[in-house]
Amino acid sequence: MATATTTYREALREALREALSADDRVFLMGEDVGKYGGSFGVSLGLVEEFGPERVRDTPLSESAFVGTGIGAAIAGMRPVVEVMTVNFSLLALDQILNNAATLRHMSGGQLSVPVVIRMTTGAGRQLAAQHSHSLEGWYAHIPGIRVLAPATLEDARGMLAPALADPDPVVIFEHGSLYNVSGELAPVEGPLDVASAAVRRSGDDVTLLTYGGSLPKVLSAADLLAGEGISAEVVDLRSLRPLDDATIMASVARTHRAVVVDEGWRTGSLAAEVSARITEQAFYELDAPVGRVCSAEVPIPYARHLEEAALPQAEGVAAAAREAVGHRG
């Protein structure tokens, strides 16, 4: 089939365009999503195409506009709420945790909250500590929501439709370092399976598990390892809640070693959860302790060299994999 060159940003925009065209109940709302085209350019041109009723600029109040999106979802609409960065989403955490995630349970199944909340996450762009943290693990802790992290062009385009079809809240994390990534995007061949992790590279010696903006670094680490004769399997988690335990454990059963790469902080991290599950479910398959590569336990620095030092990098991932492969018990 023919393929087209596009960017991660454009793939997200095309997904929004398709959703707005397919269902009159769908609308986009958030800070600067209209005439400005979104803080990261994802919604550029959509207000001219669909009008200000469908692409709504909001006041600078995350609690207010996320709450409005939740109310609209309860009333039968299909809102897509854009939060500028994950750091700012903490101002709406009360709405997400105490309302969106709980209302189905507290209403005895009478209320659905089919809201999709998109937000930019991650560091590597010199935006300093208030715009750069990776808090996906916090949201993956919350029952009642689905948490997705598209790392590829196909996932950037394909995850929105099943998220909008979900009767419960879905939070989609878009890593800021991916917006400019470009490549060939194949035509859509059917609904995307957002429940499954994806093996992005097959290998025999060690499993490298990651998601989102860390995937390119982990694939680079796998290239480094291949040059040394170490065959690394790379698993893209894709869904952070619920996790696809079956794919994770099947990979660990093949390689017998695992390293989890997570841009969040190590303490209480998503990497810790994945590591614990591997220990619980595949302990006797392991030939080495599960390794973890996470961000340094500091607010993300502004200075480029310090920011790079604080984040997981390909060489650090490769070093953790070498340690796992060299472990003799």
- Span 108-138, pLDDT tens digits: 999 999 999 999 999 999 999 999 999 999 9
| Mean pLDDT (whole number) for 230-254 | 98
Is residue 62 part of the annotated active site? The answer reads yes
Predicted local distance difference test score (pLDDT) of residue 4: 74
Q: Which residue has the higher pLDDT, 328 or 49?
A: 49
pLDDT for 73-91, tens place per residue? 999 999 999 999 999 999 9
Is the pLDDT confidence value at 329 over 70?
Answer: no
pLDDT score recorded for residue 316: 98
Please tell me the total number of residues recorded for the chain in this structure: 329
* Residue 3: pLDDT band with limits 50, 70, 90: low
Over range 138-155, report the average pLDDT.
Answer: 97
Alpha carbons 231 and 206: distance in angstroms, whole number: 7
Mean pLDDT of the residues in the chain: 96
Which residue, among 316, 309, 322, has the nearest Cα to 227 in the 3D structure?
322
Q: Where are the alpha helices (DSSP H) in the chain?
A: 8-22, 46-50, 62-74, 86-89, 93-95, 103-106, 136-140, 153-158, 160-165, 215-226, 245-255, 270-282, 304-310, 314-326
Tokens of 156: 């950037």
Alpha-carbon gap, residue 160 to 81, rounded angstroms: 12
What does the pLDDT average to over 268-288?
A: 98
For the chain, list the domains and their CATH numbers. 4-185 (3.40.50.970), 198-326 (3.40.50.920)
Which amino acid makes up residue 311?
A: L
131 is catalytic: yes
Query: What CA–CA distance (Å, rounded) separates 14 from 206?
Result: 36
Average pLDDT over residues 156-173: 97
Return the CA Rg of the chain: 20
14, 62, 154, 307: the active-site residue: 62
Identify the helix (H) or strand (E) that includes residue 7. strand 4-7
Catalytic residue chosen out of the listed positions 10, 14, 31, 131: 131
